[in-house]
Each structure stands twice: as structure tokens, then as C-alpha cells.
Amino acid sequence: NGRVSGLVAQSAPGAAAMSSFAGRELLNPANVMEASYDAGTTLQQDNGLNFLGKEVDTGTTIMAVQYDGGVIVGADSRVSTGVYISNRASDKITAVDDRIYCCRSGSAADTQAVSDYVRYFLDQHRMEYGQPPKVATAANLFQMLCYQNKNMLTAGIIVAGWDKEKGGQVFALPIGGALMEREYATGGSGSTYIYGFCDAFFKPGMTKQQCEDFVTKGLCHAMARDGSSGGIIRMAIIDESGVERKFIAGDKLPYGPL
């Protein structure tokens, strides 16, 4: 009897722990690695992974500029989860129609979902009216989705494209769902590093090549200064003839990294 009672006493803590673990996983999967609710304590481990529990900083640099006849959009390629780079070669320039693109910053999941919705709506629009949608239509769809769901989304978007009504157009949609038409727009965490550069070097009426150089140099300077931006540069030149995609490798950038 003494041996049996001893074995029961030894196994009881393990059974309680298993029960507590199952309870935590069923009640709140997000806290499955915390200590027992009954104990009232939280597991504290200094294993170098404490940053995983901190607020996620979603960093990016995106740009778009219009010229006479079209627009140029550009973005870096780094996707970060806090201090961890989860993707170093992502494509943040997403097509929502043949000649309408968006640059995405903020939560990748949020912006991908919103752009998927807009692409679906524009497909319906094209079938219903029998002609390509306008850039302003796409921008207003983005604005509607982002503003009506602003408490649940972290989405900063630039919509740019070409249509036969007004030619090249650029619309900025910062986090919160505002909508502003601009000659050029920047977004993401890296954009704060190049406000001065853009003010100094942007000139109305620039040519296509000047706009391409402006976007390239702006992105390079932001990627050099912002730890959450980096990788390669992807660009899209959109005009009446269609879309030309361009790529600049990380070791071919005209400036940086520092």
C-alpha cells in the first residue's frame, strides 16, 4: 500500500500539469506556452526569443509618381515580423486590374485580403460595364474597405494606374482609410526617412526617365536608413501600352546599403 500511494503521489503532479496544459490549449490557444492558470504565474524564460511577444513592427517602403502619360510604382522587398525578416524578396506591387496596381504596406495579411476583394469587385465591374474600370474607382473601393474596417486593419496602400479618362493617376490611402490624389506618394516605415529627399528632388512635369530615377533613388535611400526596409527594388511602369515590370538586385542599387 505504501508503494502504491507513493506512485500515485509521484504521478499526480504530472497528471495535473497535463490537465492544465489541455485546459490552456482548449480555452486559449494563444496562451498555450504560459504557466498554469491555477498557479497565477506566467512562464518567464530569457532564451533570446522575448522579442516574439512584443508588438509587431511591419516595415516597408513604397512609392508612386505620375508623369505625362503614365505612372511608376516601386517598392522594396523586405517583410519583417519585429526584428525577424520573414521574407527578403516579396512582391509588394499587386495588380488589381490590367493597368491598375497597388503598393501594399502594413500587415501583409490585411493588405493581401483587401487587394483580393478589390480585384474581385473590379472584375465584376468590368463584366457589368463592358470596359476597363477607372483608377479612381479602384481607389474608392480600397478607401471604402479600409475606412469601414479601420479598427481591424493595418493597411497603408498606394493605388496607381492609367485609364483613358485621366491618364496616369496616383492615390494615397494611409492607415485609417483616408483617400488623397497626389502627383507622387510614399508610404511605409521607410518613407519617413526620405521626406526631405522627395521635397528636394520632385519637380512637376518630370519625364518618364526622371520619374524612374526619382523612385529608384528614393527607395535606395529609405532602404539604407530603415532597418525594416531592404532587399531588392521592384518597379512597374504603367501607361497606355501596358505594364513593364523592372527589377534591381540588392547588389546593383545606386545607393547603399550603409
Tell me 30's DSSP state.
G
Catalytic residue among 60, 111, 186, 216: 60
Q: Is 154 a catalytic residue?
A: no
Q: How far apart are CA 146 and CA 76, in angstroms?
A: 22
Compute the distance between CA of residue 222 and CA of residue 172 in angstroms, rounded to an integer: 18
| Nearest Cα residue to 247 out of 258, 257, 236 | 236
Q: SS3 for 73-110, per residue?
A: EEECCCEEECCEEEECCCCCEEEEECCEEEEEEECHHH
Q: Is 162 helix (H, G, I), strand (E, B) or coil?
A: strand
Q: How far is CA 23 from the centre of its chain?
A: 35
- Give SS3 for 62: strand
Question: Distances from the Cα of 35 to the Cαs of 4, 11, 52, in angstroms?
Answer: 29, 19, 17
Cβ(26)–Cβ(51) under 8 Å? no
- Closest to 134 measured CA to CA, from 103, 169, 104: 169
Active-site residues, by number, are 60
